[in-house]
């Protein structure tokens, strides 16, 4: 297997599975944890991520297909999405394309949140455009939650990612327009995002 990414929680490999090009995500050992506890934590997180991806697909969100789940090996074998990261292409595209993609983000995130799925790391690095579809990847920090705070934090992270890496100031508003159209509690989530922003400004002043 060829390693393509090494993170704090997992290693990502490019491999072959029954003639298909796949990604293998393997959770790494943590030496500072007792071995038995480490095994249980990594197994639980592997299973949780797989279940979130399956739930996301059922909710109408494009995610990699899971081909195999190896709980004991802490591995998920999944479809290789051979497309372009939104982070790498959105600044180069025209405004109409940007608006279309952002509205697709908003619709997809609404479908996640309506179904109690929190992605946990919604950034343009974790979205891939392939074959006319927007795919969401890396649910490793995700969870099941109906809390408004968790939904707000999910979207606040995307807002900050846009500010940090992308030029067009309309991007997040386009996301929110589609989000509110597709989620009847969207306005409440928008208010929560504003509350989180105010908290952040307060903490900066205090700090």
Catalytically active residues are: 121
What's the CA gap between 14 and 173, in Å, rounded? 35
The separation between CA 173 and the C-alpha centre of its own chain, rounded to angstroms, equals 19
- Measure the CA–CA gap between 67 and 76, rounded to whole angstroms: 8
- Is 29 strand, coil or helix? coil
Best CA proximity match to 137, nearest among 99, 182, 80: 80
Q: What is the DSSP letter of 115?
A: T
What own/partner pairs with CB < 8 Å and gap ≥ 24 does 72-77 have?
Answer: 72/43, 73/26, 74/26, 74/27, 74/42, 74/43, 74/46, 75/24, 75/25, 75/26, 75/27, 75/46, 76/24, 76/25, 76/46, 76/49, 76/50, 77/15, 77/17, 77/22, 77/23, 77/24
């Amino acid at each position: 297997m060829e390693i393509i990414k090494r993170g704090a929680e997992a290693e990502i490999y490019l491999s072959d599975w029954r003639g298909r090009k796949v990604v293998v995500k393997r959770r790494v050992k943590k030496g500072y944890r007792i071995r038995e506890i480490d095994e249980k934590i990594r197994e639980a997180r592997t299973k949780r991520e797989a279940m979130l991806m399956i739930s996301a697909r059922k909710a109408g969100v494009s995610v990699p297909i899971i081909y195999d789940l190896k709980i004991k090996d802490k591995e998920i074998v999944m479809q290789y999405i051979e497309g372009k990261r939104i982070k790498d292409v959105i600044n180069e595209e025209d405004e109409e394309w940007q608006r279309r993609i952002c509205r697709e983000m908003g619709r997809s995130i609404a479908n996640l949140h309506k179904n109690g799925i929190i992605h946990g790391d919604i950034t343009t690095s974790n979205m891939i455009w392939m074959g006319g579809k927007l795919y969401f990847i890396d649910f490793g920090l995700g969870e099941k939650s109906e809390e408004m705070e968790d939904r707000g934090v999910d979207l606040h992270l995307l807002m900050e990612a846009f500010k940090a890496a992308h030029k067009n100031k309309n991007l997040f508003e386009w996301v929110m327009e589609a989000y509110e159209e597709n989620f009847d509690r969207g306005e409440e989530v928008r208010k929560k995002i504003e509350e989180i922003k105010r908290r952040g400004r307060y903490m900066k002043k205090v700090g």
